[in-house]
Amino acid sequence: MVTVKEYAIRQRKDGTAFIALILQGGLSLVQSKESGNYYATVKQCSIPSTFDEETAKQMIGERVPGSVVRKQCETYEWTNKETGEVLELSHRWVYLPEGETLENAIFEGEPEVALADKKPNTLLVHR
């Protein structure tokens, strides 16, 4: 199951706005490559919606069957806004409906950049 954690207002290439839902998967324990210690994390992704902002607010907390999984993609640069560190990544996190396979997960287009976010000074990137 995934949970709708929040929403973000995003901008299409043509300048019009839309609402994206931020989905959060379950708890994962990951081992650090550097220290060997484990840490807890959750994976998140975003999906576009047809909702207005009021409907998106009402969706927060809803649970949906499926998971958030890692999917390989073309290499791109990502900047950590807190540290300024620039990373080259070749994956993104996508929503995978229950019963589907990763090969069937659809991704179209280029990343969309958030117009506004509920947290000041936070930029969400849609992949």
Q: For residue range 66-121, what is the model confidence (pLDDT) as tens digits?
A: 999 988 889 999 888 888 888 898 988 899 988 877 776 555 444 444 444 444 33
Q: pLDDT band for 34, please (50, 70, 90 cuts).
A: confident
Whether 125 and 111 have beta carbons less than 8 Å apart is answered as yes
| pLDDT score at 105 | 59
Whether 95 and 118 have beta carbons less than 8 Å apart is answered as no
Sequence-distant (6+) residues with CB within 8 A of 28 are 40, 41, 42, 43
Q: Is the pTM of this model over 0.85?
A: no
Handedness of CA 124, 47, 63, 53 (dihedral sign): positive
Q: For residue 57, what is the DSSP state? A: H
Specify the 3-state DSSP secondary structure of 61: coil
